[in-house]
Structure 1
Amino acid sequence: MEFFDAVRARRSIRKYTPDIVPNEVMEQALDAALLAPNSSNMQTWRIYWIHETETKKKIAHACMNQGAARTAQELVVFVADPSTWKVAQEANLKHLGPNARKDVITYYKVLMPFLYSWRFLAPVKWLVFNIMGLIKPVVRKPWSSRDISEVAVKSTALASENFMLAISAQGYDTCPMEGFDERRVKKILKLSCRASVVMIISVGKRDEGGLAGERFRLPKEMVIKKI
């Protein structure tokens, strides 16, 4: 499917048919998710493809048993977890090798721990960024744990969109769900306290009654500002 066809075909489906989604379709879409842009290539996302039947039922229950979860053939949980930063830091340094540019090595060896760890230094980080901002434009965030979590959530959302478009391109459907009990989901998946469940995406073939209605978007002149 052409890219723009896939974008137009993607709809949030509330009810699916019993048709099985082939593993190859899921694998391709998950591979596409991992190609999403993300902050500093830290890839602070974790993607849980729920296979086990009982776990699926528990996740669907945590999604308030809504039709999009209850009738789905597949459920995928997209999680932002900044506590995984060190794994990516080490992997990036290994990939770069000893002959990489010195500033890039410093970026991963010094700046990444400064941003992702050393949370007790949050006031110092705030001070550093704001003093620098008096002299030149600087990135004012992230300096707090909340900022870092926000960065991880943004990256994970980009991966989620890649996944949904890849599913759409293969002729299947999705629904990104925000209506869920995050505490229950985190308990089911045994997630860390710093992890955030960004969205749960159901996958399947759309049922005739799966659409809530015709697509509506605000006129683009209301939301796109050409300056």
Structure 2
Amino acid sequence: MKLQHYLGGLEGLPEPLTLEKRVFVEEWEKRIFGIHVAMMGLSNHLGAALPAYPIDEVPTAFKDEWTWADLRTGAEAMNPFDYFKFRYYEKWLGGITQFFIDKGYVTEEELAQRMTELAPDAEADVVPAIDDQVIAYLRLGDSPRRDVAHPKFAVGAEVRITNVPADAHSRLPGYLRGRVGTVERVFEGDYGYFTHTGDGIGDPMPIYIVEFDPAEIWGPRAEGGPLKLYAELFEAYLAPIEEES
């Protein structure tokens, strides 16, 4: 992932951040969360999800795929300075808005006009609506699990984290690239990521919890004590140590 998403191990950062502990700071943030959930509940990817949805038969004007990967990709595409400037749901709003513009659901001119209509002193005519399919999604969820696990690595195996080429979106923390760790757990299934990122993930594969010694990651600057770091990683990001010979 890009700089703004994984700061672990970087030196010269400002003093510790003051983190917002409220889930929603403003009322509109609840609405953008609801829009995101509705988009996921109507997404084309649900045709392959478990439990299965007859998504092709759902009467909706939304005809695209929207998953957590799409939301994350939008946030990661932001200029790092903008990323640190905006709050959590402001990043969501920007990514979702750009998605609807890019896909042709709305134009920038239409958005500007709507913003004028919904100015603080204007009467809003927003009518809330919840699609039956969205309700089904909220009740049943979906799952990236596609099969039982078929792992290449067993618990206790020593592995090196790959240094795959950077892509627009990744689930590999940058500070783990090239580091050596030990498989602590193998999850029960093979899991897809819905979106093919270009750095090896997308198709169903095992997921592992890998244990790292902080000294392996940060060297002599690592804090002392009985500390360990754990990361959940797709199998595409793991390589056997013996391959190095």
TM-score interval, normalised by the smaller of the two chains: under 0.3
Give me the TM-score of the superposition, normalised by structure 1: 0.21
Could you say which structure has the larger radius of gyration? 2
Give me the TM-score of the superposition, normalised by structure 2: 0.20
| Higher helix residue share | 1
Q: Tell me: higher relative CO, structure 1 or 2? Use CA pairs within 8 A at least 6 residues apart.
A: 1
